[in-house]
Structure 1
Amino acid sequence: MKDIQEQQWVEAAQSGDQAAFESLVHLYEKRVLALTGRMCRNPEDAAEAAQEAFLAAWQGLASFRGESSFSTWLYRLASNACVDLLRREGRRRAAAGPSLNDEELNLDVADPAPSPQEAAERRELRQQIETGLQSLSPEHRQVLILREMHQLSYDEIAQVLQLDIGTVKSRISRGRKQLRNFLLCSGNFSVPAASKEAGREG
């Protein structure tokens, strides 16, 4: 039912119905802000990128043909807005969520009841992840955020960013390796015993 309502709003908005577009904004604004917030880190930049994404969506609705879902298309606009903003202002910063939830990095920080020492260690790890992400290019940070924080599949990321899947996998692999190396050098990450297998894409 939700998908039907969304499609009706999209079709109405394409015909110039501003109220229908506002309904789409309300439906997706939190998710878009979550994405831009992690890409930009600075709340003002995140809000600006989100605003640019919704403006681009309104202006580009006439050319939206539904080849991908509306949400995928909107993610693409938001992600591109973030990269454009970062490039314009020369900012190479990023924000990490509660964890990367990445089996390759072997980061397990999701225990619901940590001890004070464990909580302090996790805060330090998150800070190190954030610092490590700062060193990545916007393109590498972009794919890691979509993959690890928003849990998009490789195919979905390829659609969002309009890249071939080989490029997506390559960027994710390189980004993970760079981040892992940073954590190794900072002393906040130890290589598991089966690390020889970690380089393989699953």
Structure 2
Amino acid sequence: MDAGIDTITVTMTVGTADAQDSRVDPDREIVENARIGNTDAFETLVLRHQSHIVNYAAAVMRDSNDAEDVAQQTFLRAYRALAQFRGESTFKTWLYRIATNVALTHLNRRGRETRMRSHSLDDDTSSLKTSEIASQGIDAETNVVLRDTIDRALATLPNELRIAVILRDVSGLDYKEIADVTGAPIGTVESRIFRGRQRLRPLLRPPTTPQSRNEAKDDV
């Protein structure tokens, strides 16, 4: 595991005001109001970002109760540390940085990472049911199976790869934002996402069947 991923701090320390992302933070005005003690403004920030943070935490923790706990702690820490937010990133990426720190603390304390990574790939892939996903339309039931498939596959990755992939492919952050969240250089972020996707690909690919092999021959 790359150094630094388990010791993400609450305050943003990467970059300077001159080097910060050129995009305007859509939360800037609300954050400024919250910083001077406007609790309604902070509640607005919570409502705006809560579902995204909960979904991110759920993907990392693989447990809805843990996800809710991580989200609550994230916003509590953000509220307490709001005066330390210097605007070197967007408020959104700052929240994801706190959420990542909280989630990693939970994983390390409970030893969940060790248990997840001790699963054999055969145990995980035996219940992925990718053939069922491939043969059905994406209805509500199939979508549940698909989500479970992805969650199980993600659980086989080490933390630094799993978090990078989740931030990109589940939360939709760009590489610069992920670099801000994790404190890693963009090149490292790109490498983690590439390696994570490479490891996930065989787990998410439908199994080869005699019929599919025959169809492949016919296409040649």
TM-score, normalising length: structure 2: 0.65
Distance in 2 separating the partners of 1:5 and 1:166: 27
* The structure with more radius of gyration: 2
Q: How many aligned positions are there? A: 170
Moved more, 11-20 or 137-146: 11-20
Q: Which residue is 2:74 aligned to?
A: 53
Unaligned runs of 5+ in 1: 94-108, 194-202
Distance in 1 separating the partners of 2:107 and 2:25: 36
Distance in 2 separating the partners of 1:182 and 1:149: 17
Q: Which residue is 2:59 aligned to?
A: 38
Distance in 2 separating the partners of 1:28 and 1:21: 11
Q: Which residue is 1:114 aligned to?
A: 137
Q: Which residue is 2:190 aligned to?
A: 169
Change (3 A) 1:87 1:10: same
Distance in 2 separating the partners of 1:14 and 1:87: 32
Q: 8 Å contact 2:59–2:151 — kept in the other structure?
A: no
Q: Deviations over 1:122-148 (max 9, x none)?
A: 766554433222111122111111111
Counting aligned pairs with the same residue, the percent is 41
Unaligned runs of 5+ in 2: 1-23, 117-132
Q: How does 1:68-147 map to 2 (within 5 A)?
A: 68-92=89-113, 114=137, 126-147=147-168
Tell me the SS of whatever aligns to 2:81. Answer: helix
Q: Deviations over 1:27-70 (max 9, x none)?
A: 21111111112111211100111011111111111111111111
Asked if 1:152 corresponds to 2:176, the answer is no
Q: Which residue is 2:207 aligned to?
A: 187
Q: 8 Å contact 1:86–1:138 — kept in the other structure?
A: no
Change (3 A) 1:75 1:90: same
Greater relative CO (CA pairs within 8 A, separation 6+): 2
1:40 aligned partner, one-letter code: M
Change (3 A) 1:17 1:89: same
1:71 aligned partner, one-letter code: K
1:136 aligned partner, one-letter code: L
2:207 aligned partner, one-letter code: G
Deviation at 1:169, TM superposition (A): 1.3
User: How big is the alpha-carbon RMSD for the aligned residues of Structure 1 and Structure 2?
Assistant: 3.3
Q: 8 Å contact 1:38–1:145 — kept in the other structure?
A: yes
TM-score, normalising length: structure 1: 0.70
